[in-house]
Amino acid sequence: MTQASSTRSAADTSRPALATADTPAAGEPRGWWRDAVIYQVYPRSFADANGDGMGDLPGIRSRLPHLRDLGVDAVWLSPFYASPQADAGYDVADYRAVDPMFGTLLDADALIRDAHALGLRIIVDLVPNHSSNQHEWFQRALREGPGSPLRDRYHFRAGRGTAGELPPNDWESIFGGPAWTRTENPDGTPGEWYLHLFAPEQPDFNWESPAVADEFRSILRFWLDMGVDGFRVDVAHGLVKAPGLPDLGAHDQLKLLGNDVMPFFDQDGVHQIYRAWRKILDEYPGERILVAEAWTPTVERTANYVRPDEMHQAFNFQYLSTYWDATALRQVIDASLDAMRPVGAPTTWVLSNHDVTRHATRFGNPPGGTQLRTAGDRELGLRRARAATLLMLALPGSAYLYQGEELGLPDVTDLPDEVRQDPSYFRASGQDGFRDGCRVPIPWSGSAAPYGFGPTAGGPSWLPQPAEWASLSVEAQTGDPASTLELYRSALAIRRRQPELGAGDRVEWLDTPPGVLMFRRGDFVCAVNTTGQPVELTVAGTLLLSSAEDRQPGVLPADSTSWWAV
């Protein structure tokens, strides 16, 4: 192996075009997804081609070369479907239409084709747990009133109490408040209640209804026929509810979430849905994949979603929730690899997404979960974030990046309340109320907001960008070997040249002092110092890359990661 250069070589960027819907994937290597680096695009905030302040599909299309040059394998697009945007598109009114705010189906088709021509795969978001309350099915069910068979597609129930004035059970919405909203009958009298695990604008589907199962099989085929390479399945753990929708009892539900099996999450019945979907995907050429967004109590339960006849990958939220601490990191890495090995699925790794505080901000704060409201120590946060990324990209399996992390963006923790749009911000005691901070539009270039996000300097952006983001833009960082963008480019270029970085299902740990992790993978060594002090450490080999600028021979700088060829 050779020393990484700060910019990608021509050989790194020239990759073969991929199959499209009408040109099958002849001769492509099997299992592309096992070690893929997958980049999440949040369409509202990536690139705005028409200047209305909201990102769109033509904008994404115009910026695909950035993703090719960055060196990722695939792009996951958060929802761009027709939606009233009560939850930023995770409330879908029409699963087969593009919201006019984002473009048209023709734009989606062009985006998929362009991505494939650049060697990038496209994964779209599928939202099967709930629809929008503006979805035609829900509106018709409301209009037809109690007793209509159309109500079987959702969870409509009579209320409790003498006059049905109380919700049917004690479940709470993830966004805060009761998980039930009462309807009005067509004649104006108070009616049944419907279940929504998220906002009231997101009624939960009833997956016992054959019509729901049929509809989603058809939606899968619609997008597979459009040529997408896979689906990220939203709330994959939530589709099946315990029979009878039993009360949870006197518990703090938000504390239980993710730590316990709930009557509405991680029920065993979900797995037969994914077995049926897998069969559909396998009918298509080119290894289309399913990725579970499944918050489960343990990595072992997460592994259930990726058994050989179910999904391909599941997000590793245990990893995302782990703080910058060597012991905790080693434990979660081992536990994740151990859990996935028996089912033969690759482990995935993720540090940031559109629902959590960016890792550059999390690691600049004391340990405190994934929903933070304080900026913390910016410099320390970025230093650790860069180190955490190099650790993640050296692990076996597939890694997820969230747009803007390659620029080292922090969360914007001081957004004025009046610009916030996260629905849970407006509901009492919601767990996720500050998600807008990680959704601020990306700075691409220039010195005036919106920094190339939109076409015109001084033009709008749906959330305001901080003034200091001018120096974090793609343009400002390109070519600067000390920049986070060039660090990501170099790391991904090395990963492409050295496929063993993502391959396999184990790491060989080497002895280290406390607070330091070091492992070998073939002729590659990665060492991580999670302490705030430099540590003496000599590796007999060639240094490939370091997350720290202040490195000296024989020393692993504080809060840094280095890679060597040995």
Q: Which is nearer to ligand NOJ, 99 or 559 (CB)?
A: 99
Q: Report in angstroms how near the CB of residue 355 gets to ligand NOJ at its nearest.
A: 5
- How many binding residues for ligand NOJ (CB under 6 A)? 9
Binding ligand NOJ by CB under 6 A: which of 56, 201, 229, 234?
Answer: 234
CB 120 within 8 A of CB 131: no
DSSP letters spanning 236-297: TT-SS--TT-----S--HHHHTTTS-BTTBS-TTHHHHHHHHHHHHHTSSS--EEEE----S
Q: Report in angstroms how near the CB of residue 2 gets to ligand NOJ at its nearest.
A: 40
Q: Which residues contact 84 (CB under 8 A, 6 or more apart)?
A: 91, 93, 132, 134, 201
Q: Report in angstroms how near the CB of residue 490 gets to ligand NOJ at its nearest.
A: 30
Record the tokens describing residue 423, joined without a space.
Answer: 């629905």
387/380 Cα distance (integer angstroms): 11
Q: Which is nearer to ligand NOJ, 236 or 525 (CB)?
A: 236
Q: Which is nearer to ligand NOJ, 372 or 527 (CB)?
A: 372
Amino acid at 300: E
Of 279-338, binders to ligand NOJ (CB under 6 A) are: 293
Q: Which is nearer to ligand NOJ, 127 or 556 (CB)?
A: 127
462/101 Cα distance (integer angstroms): 12
Strands 313-314 and 190-195: unpaired
CB 94 within 8 A of CB 79: no
CA dihedral 236, 238, 243, 249 (to 10 degrees): 150
400 interacts with ligand NOJ by CB under 6 A: no
Q: Report in angstroms how near the CB of residue 238 gets to ligand NOJ at its nearest.
A: 9
Count of all residues that appear for the chain in the document: 566
Helix (H) or strand (E) holding 156: strand 156-157
Q: Report in angstroms how near the CB of residue 438 gets to ligand NOJ at its nearest.
A: 11
Q: Report in angstroms how near the CB of residue 240 gets to ligand NOJ at its nearest.
A: 16
Mapping DSSP to helix (H, G, I), strand (E, B) and coil, where does residue 513 land? coil
Please name every residue paired with 160 in a beta bridge, in sequence order, or none if there are none. 166
Number of other residues whose CB lies within 10 A of the CB of residue 417: 6
Q: Which is nearer to ligand NOJ, 109 or 215 (CB)?
A: 215
CB 308 within 8 A of CB 271: no
Binding ligand NOJ by CB under 6 A: which of 98, 235, 391, 474?
Answer: 235
Of 190-219, binders to ligand NOJ (CB under 6 A) are: 198
Q: Which is nearer to ligand NOJ, 73 or 234 (CB)?
A: 234
Q: Report in angstroms how near the CB of residue 199 gets to ligand NOJ at its nearest.
A: 8
Q: Report in angstroms how near the CB of residue 525 gets to ligand NOJ at its nearest.
A: 35
Binding ligand NOJ by CB under 6 A: which of 107, 310, 355, 405?
Answer: 355
CA distances from 459 to 47, 137, 245, 318, 518 (A): 13, 38, 49, 40, 47
324/531 Cα distance (integer angstroms): 9
292/297 Cα distance (integer angstroms): 14
Q: Which is nearer to ligand NOJ, 291 or 474 (CB)?
A: 291
Q: Which residues contact 9 (CB under 8 A, 6 or more apart)?
A: 493
Of 120-159, binders to ligand NOJ (CB under 6 A) are: 127
Q: Sign of the C-alpha dihedral, residues 541, 547, 549, 555?
A: negative
CB 72 within 8 A of CB 502: no
Mapping DSSP to helix (H, G, I), strand (E, B) and coil, where does residue 194 land? strand
Of 71-100, binders to ligand NOJ (CB under 6 A) are: 87, 90
Q: Which is nearer to ligand NOJ, 59 or 433 (CB)?
A: 433
Cα-Cα end-to-end distance for the chain: 9
Q: Report in angstroms how near the CB of residue 436 gets to ligand NOJ at its nearest.
A: 11
Q: Which is nearer to ligand NOJ, 253 or 530 (CB)?
A: 253
Residue sitting closest to ligand NOJ (CB): 90
* DSSP conformation class of 150: G
The residues carrying an active-site annotation are: 234, 283
Which stretches of the chain bind ligand NOJ, using CB under 6 A? 87, 90, 127, 198, 234-235, 293, 354-355
